[in-house]
Structure 1
Amino acid sequence: MREYKKYCPLLFLLIFSQILSAQNILIDNSKTPEQLVQQLFSGGSCVQPTNITINGYNFGSGEKSFAWFESNGSGFPLENGLIISTGKASSAVGPNTSLLSEGPTSWGGDNDLEAAIGESNTINATVVEFDFVAVTNYMSFNYIFSSEQYLSNPGSNQCNYSDGFAFLLKKIGNPSYQNLAVVPGTNIPVKVTTVRGAGTICPPANTQYFDAFNGSMHPTNFNGQTKVLLAEADITPGASYHIKMVIADQGNNLYDSAIFIGGSTFNNDFAMGDDRLIADGNPLCPGETLTVTPDYTVPGTLSYSWFKNDVPIPGYINVSNPTYTITAPGVYNIKADIGSCIVNGYINVEYASVTALPTTLSKCDDNSDNIAIFNLTAASTAITGNDNTMQVTGFYHNLTDAQNQQNAIANPGSYSNAAGNNIVARIKNVFDCVDYANITLQVQSSSPLNPINTVKVCDGDDDQDGFYQFDLNEITQAIEDANTLPAGSSIQYFTSLADAAALTNPLSSPFSNTDDYTQTIYAQVISSGSCYEILPVTLQVNTFSPDNFDNETVGICESTTTLLDAGSGFTTYLWNTTPTTTTQTITVNTAGSYTVTVTNSEGCKAIRTFTVVSSEAPTITHIEVVSFSGNGNSITVYTSGNGNYEYSLDNIVFQDINVFTGVSAGEYTVYVRDKNGCGMAPPEVVYVLDYPNFFTPNGDGYNDRWFIKNLDIDFPNAELYIFNRYGKLLKQLAPSGNGWDGQIGNNQLPSDDYWFLLKLENGRTVRGHFSLKR
């Protein structure tokens, strides 16, 4: 903000009290356009509006699209002022329980508004216009933009709609306007799409300037609004200006919007520079001064008077010089008496406190040389009073270095007091305000601690890698048992002597050793009144992974027993039997899961599980043979019985699966046995049938006749026919016959391909061809 408004603290207080009130704003339709505009100017203002006009829509019965509003104790941020709307002004009264879309389509828009904000097709415009003559080089006024288009649960197609408004200013005689209703620090026009809060599917924009999506209990009947915003401009003193305030619906006459302009907030007063506020991130620091003066002095000014918090400042009443140097927080107001009226200027100044507290760091002497390693950063909490808005920016050997930020201590986390026992810390807050604190270093003599035995553990997980999660609390108990420590003492652990001496990088419990199998850590006793030497503690991780100790599955035949052997060489054995057994071996006669836990001389454990399963001899229930399929011939064996079986066609080579594939034609004996030695099924003979691809009837005793071997065994009633290549039936063969010799009626048929048809009694038909070779 360019200047401070006296009423702002009250207005912000009212917005927080809104929840305590169920009242709504009031609307007064009785005021004339002249009265409405004149009441935007503060009493005694050196500026008076002229040529006032307000054009909007008259809804009848005295209700128009513009009116005067009062907050009525509702908590609405502006106490009173002018409302201009795209609908009926009186409909702005809360609660927020209806959707306002009131303007008729015959009510037109505004071309200047469209040019200012880059929109088109506006409708339902309300326009306020007036002239004024500038007294100073700065003007401003407060406003709130409210709209029904601030939907708390919009559809995706509603995110880009926004009614438009503008506060247009131009020097009379100039052709173009300047729009003052912009997002602060930008040229972006303020509207729903450019100032919107988070929490809906629509993208948020400039959320720091958005107030809220309203519930039903809001004092206005709009779905949301911006915070109180400031329209401001630098102007030329003595020049005449024209103001045009305009709001309109965009695209259609639905979802009304309104502008609330604060009463008595139209100011053509002094610009005094930005307020210096904690909330704005620019307060003054302790001891800092701020010299202020108006940006412009009105010619003919009779005198100046300064006030702090509305109280006259002695020595600065009716003076000729408008400059004042601020040395304390407050609201400062300058009043310039120009004869006929008073021109004001305001600035609000706050100071950000920063107080650094002196402290003492004590450290134990671990070798009687009165030298110790200090972690200076450990003093940060005491120096800042645990205020997280302050931070230590450096440690120095003297105040001069700290003030000049030179020769900083390079490693404050590990500082040897051999370089000095008095340290100065530089502290700053979030506003870069600085203070300094003294740190006194004290070295105390140390007493030795009784050592403890090596902490031995067993690597208890499946990965015997020599790493373990150590419970440091158990080690602390061992140290306390071996020593008498003062009440309130604590023990911290570190991976190095340097860290232990500096109290940096303490270990947390549980601690996983970083060196496999064996590691030394260092215990430091923390006591407010006593010092102890650093105690080394050795950690040892023992592994135990016996050879040939895998889990095993064992079969047991019916009515027999089996011996389970955990292996030799262990210190103890413990079986999960009932009652438990502590021998190396046990004999069992029932199926089940048997677990043995063994220990070695270090007390480390290992567990092995024997899964005992029942077995019995198999029974072949069915054998399925696929014949006449060439390489697709197969034998599938089906069995019953409780066991783990394997299969063979030669009683030599056994396989786990019950299917034999790629079986050539011939006679086979099927063998099935239990893997655990519990017996074999009676062997069964099967036949795989197939036809020969050729025969050579030359009388040499080999392949002289074409026939299907073993066909009469499986299919004694089969029908077998032979044809020539033209489909002529040449011969029918009996399954039990001696086949075909390649002749028909003592006539030898020539070498050629011949065809056959085989009809089996199971309904299957096999067709194929073979060659006769001579």
Structure 2
Amino acid sequence: MMKYAIVFVFFLVPFLIDAQNIQVDTNTYTAQQLIEDILIDSDCITNVEVTNVVGGNFSGADQSYGFFDAAGTSFPFKKGVMLSTGKIQNTQGPNTTLSDDDAPNWDGDSDLETALNESNTTNATIIEFDFTSVANQISFKYIFASEEYQENNSNTCNYSDLFGFLIRPINSAEYTNIALVPNTQTPVKVTTVHPFIPNGCAAQNDIYFESWNDATAPINFNGQTKVLTATAITIPNETYHVKLVIADEQNYRYDSAVFLEAGSFQLSMDLGGDRLISNNNPLCFGEIIEIGESNPASGSTYKWFKNNIEIPLATNSTIMVSEAGTYRLETTLGNNCISYGETMIEYAEELHTTKAYLESCDNDTDGLTFFDLHLADSLFTIDSFSMVPVKNYYVLESDAIQRINPISNTTKFSATLPNQIIFARLENEYGCFAVEPLTLTANYTTSNITSFEVCDVDNDGFAMFNLNELRILLEPEVSQSAEIMFYASYEDAVNHSNQLSDSYTNSAAFIEEIYVIAQTTSCELFTIVTLKVLSPEELLPYEEITFCLDDNNTSFTINAGFLSDTYNENYIIVWEKDGVELELDDFEIEVLETGLYHVIVTNPYGCTSERNIDVTISEVAIVDAIYIEEVNGLNSIEVSTLGDGNYTYALDTIEIFQESNVFLNVIPGDYIIFIKDNKGCETVEVFVEVLETFPKFFTPNNDGYNDTWSPSIEKIGGNLATKIYVFDRFGKMVKEIIPFGLGWDGTFNGVMLPSADYWYKIVLENGKVFNGHFSLKR
């Protein structure tokens, strides 16, 4: 979420901002007062003693915990206690800046990491206290808020600060975390409570997410949960230790806070849990249940409330509920302490169903046949109402009500009486049910479609039939909702077993009968269709053809490749090149270009045959240049060629060719290089002479011997147009030597160069190149 601070608002209407945003206080209350007087504030919870407080050291009045006042704001709590992973001064609204605080030596908490099975916490704010309760359950309300809630950002899926409400008996070392997603053992975090994040992740427990916060929010956090309740089971009059702790995870960035409602730490009781649609456990329409305290204490008195309004004359420990609402029980114990219990009740929508009729195909008109009962599943729903799933079918209505003795083979139920009535039990996702009758009737019919043909691809009498195409031919004879099924035998058809797949290969050569049934809630079709296999024309297989281009050959011919003399004017021939249809329909065509040619031949019976002809063109190699390079007394020859061909190379032999155009370790002498086109064009021969003509070293010491380096280029056909270059080992040119001149004296710009190896490049007028190296010795 992007935040923008609108500075002029602070100067023009400061009183308005204070009224709309929470205010925090770190000085008025001690930690003991925050817990005993603000959070608890009850004489029925005793021996309250704060034993440990940890927070950030901000070198001033700022703290990471304290009191908050939200009176007059939209925040759900009016006041309470808060703990943060940063300065609580920075938690006050509006939500226009990033809460992102740190402090020196502010460590994490190992108990929190153990309880949540996490690691690497830092900046932990902790308040620990002991208490004694007279009841067997305590609870308090809280809200978790965080900067790590980032709207439409996948970071929300991956990062979250951690917090926990850890409780244990005073004499125990093992904590239990009670800051959990309701009805789960999942800790409340950004990553466990959030809505759907586009391009990020699915919603997680989003019914407990309250809102993304904009600049009008009374707190300075990007998002927050709904009001949640932490509940702990306790033993009356036993002392417990509580650790309230919140911490950053991984690093101090993006602060979070937990807000605890003032006075909400109180005695409580379990009324049986909420019955909500969001929890998948609402009451069924018309259902009445009893709720209340399961083990009432002697001498207690009771008040019941529905939607915060006291229910007249409801003074027992339990009450019968027949309407949706929020029910609260206040139990005044014998010591005048009050214990609170609350539950929310919702009702599922009333089931709207009706009786139905199912008709199946009868092969002998006796009114008895097999039924796929699930064909009737959708018939029990009344139009405009949600569909209620059928859970099972029963022979007896009483069995359906009691959910006993269901029909086991629902896809092949054998009727025992004409027009037999059985019963369907329908249930919604919450277990609410209705029982409706289903009448079973039988019928017999035939079709006008008698045969279905396909073409044989290998002339063996067997082919794959796309029965879905046959289904399309039959569909005009049946209703849109009819399911058309195919079977290989009469027995399979009447028993609805071994249904043929839509891709079916005949089991008898050339001709075979199959059985067709079209069944909805009535029998619409029961007939025989004959499958026929027709033979197409046989063509030559895939073929690769290469043509060598020269001045005499510029076009070639290819043909459809019939294996017999059956071609006549009744055949339809279509040619394609590289997937594009050509305007050609002859048996033989002229080819002007390379490409993949595809021919489709349709015989007079409508069967098609196809084949591909891959036409490629090659050329005789054209020698562009020959490079001779000398290294360590040995030479290499590199041949550069032009031409549209795939060439291999051989030196002085036609027996062994290589793909590389470079020959290594060649001693001086005369050679013939053979260049072969691998697609059959003519092999080219090139004469090459490798000479040993260049000095291997020189000693420029002015002793009259080898004082300069000068190659004898006349032996390799050099002339005044020859270029001679000298390079150092870094590739820098240090000299261009004039042909037939004095050579190189080992200097560069008048400076003597050091002893080392140097490289030469000699380029003849005809483009032939010689490369090698020599040594300068001083």
- With the shorter chain as reference, the TM-score category is 0.5 to 0.7
| Residue 542 (structure 1) aligned to one of 520, 535, 541 | 535
Distance 1:520 1:142, change over 3 A: farther
Alignment map for 1:579-618 (pairs within 5 Å): 598=601, 600=603, 602-607=605-610
**What is residue 367 of structure 1 aligned with on the other side?**
364
Q: Which amino acid is 1:84 matched to?
A: M
Is 1:514 aligned with 2:514? no
Note the C-alpha offset of 1:441.
1.1
Q: Which amino acid is 1:494 matched to?
A: F
Distance 1:71 1:575, change over 3 A: same
In structure 2, the gaps of 5 or more residues are 1-16, 577-581, 627-638, 664-671, 689-778
**What is residue 739 of structure 2 aligned with on the other side?**
none
**What is residue 23 of structure 2 aligned with on the other side?**
27
Q: What is the SS of the residue equivalent to 1:381?
A: helix
Q: 1:644, 1:675 within 8 Å by CA — same for their partners in 2? A: yes
| Residue 396 (structure 1) aligned to one of 394, 397, 402 | 394
**What is residue 138 of structure 1 aligned with on the other side?**
137
**What is residue 634 of structure 2 aligned with on the other side?**
none
Note the C-alpha offset of 1:458.
5.2
Q: What is the SS of the residue equivalent to 2:526?
A: coil
Alignment map for 1:450-529 (pairs within 5 Å): 450-457=448-455, 459=457, 466-468=462-464, 470=466, 472=468, 476-477=472-473, 485=477, 492-496=484-488, 511-515=502-506, 520-525=513-518
Is 1:380 aligned with 2:377? yes
Q: 2:80, 2:259 within 8 Å by CA — same for their partners in 1? A: yes
Note the C-alpha offset of 1:428.
3.2
Structure 1 CA distance for aligned equivalents of residues 103 and 50 of structure 2? 22
Q: Which amino acid is 1:69 matched to?
A: D
Structure 2 CA distance for aligned equivalents of residues 289 and 544 of structure 1? 77
Note the C-alpha offset of 1:468.
4.5
Query: 1:465-505 CA deviation, whole Å, 9 max, x = no partner?
Result: 9544637457644785xxxx588686724244567667889
Distance 1:217 1:378, change over 3 A: farther
In structure 1, the gaps of 5 or more residues are 1-20, 625-636, 648-652, 662-668, 687-774
**What is residue 70 of structure 2 aligned with on the other side?**
70
Note the C-alpha offset of 1:68.
3.0
Structure 2 CA distance for aligned equivalents of residues 656 and 357 of structure 1? 86
Structure 1 CA distance for aligned equivalents of residues 683 and 100 of structure 2? 94
**What is residue 93 of structure 2 aligned with on the other side?**
94
Q: 1:390, 1:428 within 8 Å by CA — same for their partners in 2? A: yes
Distance 1:454 1:294, change over 3 A: closer
**What is residue 358 of structure 1 aligned with on the other side?**
355
Alignment map for 1:695-706 (pairs within 5 Å): none
Q: 2:288, 2:322 within 8 Å by CA — same for their partners in 1? A: yes
Structure 2 CA distance for aligned equivalents of residues 194 and 675 of structure 1? 64
Q: 2:542, 2:612 within 8 Å by CA — same for their partners in 1? A: no
Question: In percent, how many aligned pairs have the same letter?
Answer: 25
Q: Which amino acid is 1:470 matched to?
A: N
Alignment map for 1:4-19 (pairs within 5 Å): none
Q: What is the SS of the residue equivalent to 2:317?
A: coil
- Give the total of aligned pairs: 640
Q: What is the SS of the residue equivalent to 1:400?
A: helix
User: Normalised by the size of structure 1, how large is the TM-score?
Assistant: 0.59
Alignment map for 1:237-636 (pairs within 5 Å): 237=236, 239=237, 246-247=244-245, 257-285=256-284, 290-301=289-300, 303-309=301-307, 316-318=313-315, 321-326=316-321, 329-336=324-331, 343-352=339-348, 355=351, 357-383=354-380, 391-418=389-416, 421-444=420-443, 446-457=444-455, 459=457, 466-468=462-464, 470=466, 472=468, 476-477=472-473, 485=477, 492-496=484-488, 511-515=502-506, 520-525=513-518, 531-540=524-533, 542-546=535-539, 566=561, 568-572=564-568, 574=573, 598=601, 600=603, 602-607=605-610
Structure 1 CA distance for aligned equivalents of residues 557 and 101 of structure 2? 96
Distance 1:427 1:569, change over 3 A: same
Q: Which amino acid is 1:79 matched to?
A: F
Note the C-alpha offset of 1:417.
2.1
User: Normalised by the size of structure 2, how large is the TM-score?
Assistant: 0.58
Structure 1 CA distance for aligned equivalents of residues 259 and 392 of structure 2? 51
Note the C-alpha offset of 1:361.
1.1
Structure 1 CA distance for aligned equivalents of residues 213 and 66 of structure 2? 22
Distance 1:127 1:465, change over 3 A: farther
Q: What is the SS of the residue equivalent to 2:377?
A: helix
Q: 2:47, 2:130 within 8 Å by CA — same for their partners in 1? A: yes
Query: 1:212-234 CA deviation, whole Å, 9 max, x = no partner?
Result: 88676654223555554323233
Q: 1:354, 1:390 within 8 Å by CA — same for their partners in 2? A: no
**What is residue 231 of structure 1 aligned with on the other side?**
230
Distance 1:82 1:169, change over 3 A: farther
Distance 1:520 1:213, change over 3 A: farther
Alignment map for 1:650-669 (pairs within 5 Å): none
Structure 1 CA distance for aligned equivalents of residues 605 and 291 of structure 2? 82
Q: Which amino acid is 2:79 matched to?
A: G
Q: 2:547, 2:618 within 8 Å by CA — same for their partners in 1? A: no
Q: What is the SS of the residue equivalent to 1:513?
A: strand
Q: Which amino acid is 1:417 matched to?
A: A
Q: 1:95, 1:220 within 8 Å by CA — same for their partners in 2? A: yes
Q: What is the SS of the residue equivalent to 1:379?
A: helix
Structure 2 CA distance for aligned equivalents of residues 673 and 335 of structure 1? 102
Q: 1:281, 1:431 within 8 Å by CA — same for their partners in 2? A: yes
Q: What is the SS of the residue equivalent to 1:533?
A: strand
Distance 1:403 1:107, change over 3 A: closer
Q: What is the SS of the residue equivalent to 1:450?
A: coil
**What is residue 81 of structure 2 aligned with on the other side?**
83
Note the C-alpha offset of 1:603.
3.9
Q: 1:671, 1:680 within 8 Å by CA — same for their partners in 2? A: yes
Q: What is the SS of the residue equivalent to 2:266?
A: coil
Note the C-alpha offset of 1:141.
0.8
Q: 2:513, 2:528 within 8 Å by CA — same for their partners in 1? A: no
Distance 1:613 1:139, change over 3 A: closer
Distance 1:263 1:286, change over 3 A: same
Distance 1:537 1:401, change over 3 A: farther
Note the C-alpha offset of 1:66.
1.8
Query: 1:748-767 CA deviation, whole Å, 9 max, x = no partner?
Result: xxxxxxxxxxxxxxxxxxxx
